[in-house]
Amino acid sequence: MEQKHFNKNEILEKLNPLVENTAMRYGVIPIEVDFSKESGKWFLRIFLYKQDGITLDDCENFSRSLNPFLDDLIPVKFYLEVSSPGLDRKLKSDREYIIFQGKIINLKLKSLVDGIEEKQFLAKILDFDREKGVTVLKLDNQNTYTIPTDKIQRAQLHIEDL
């Protein structure tokens, strides 16, 4: 089963429809699918999201349903990890700006954007458009800005004080 040469991107392309279909069946949204090598071992990590939170049962059901198909798609020994994205997740995809609309984020810009005088601030995600970027409400001055995604260095979910 151990094969030296394979295309990681091709494996991910084959995995994505399977992950999407399995997620749909369980009412969850796959936020990220990562297949990478760490310390000589391969890991397939799948991060799931749902509005009312991901449970251990969600992860187990998803894993059990997906697992029988993986050995045919992945030509090396690997470890499967299925989990929620975590409370302080860094947003990595356009899809996440849509999913997390209404949430507060810590935003760090690569460079200043018209009308914004600092590179780091708290904002609430209002909308997302692939062409224009992320529309946010800047919390300190209550102004709305649309920021192109290529101007964003880091967007991370803000953990609110309990």
* pLDDT per residue rounded down to tens, the chain (162 residues): 444 578 888 999 999 999 999 999 999 999 999 999 999 999 999 999 998 889 999 999 999 999 999 988 999 999 999 998 877 788 888 889 998 999 999 999 998 888 888 999 999 999 999 999 999 999 888 889 999 999 999 999 888 743
Which are the contacts of 16, defined by CB distance < 8 A and separation ≥ 6? Answer: 33
34 vs 49: CA distance, rounded Å:
15
| Superfamily name and number for 8-83 | RimP-like superfamily, N-terminal (3.30.300.70)
The full set of domain ranges for the chain reads 8-83, 94-157
* Domain 94-157: assigned CATH number: 2.30.30.180
pLDDT at position 88, please? Answer: 78
Distances (CA, A) of 110 to 119, 120, 155: 7, 9, 11
Pairing of the two strands 133-138 and 143-147:
antiparallel
Pairing of the two strands 41-49 and 78-83:
parallel
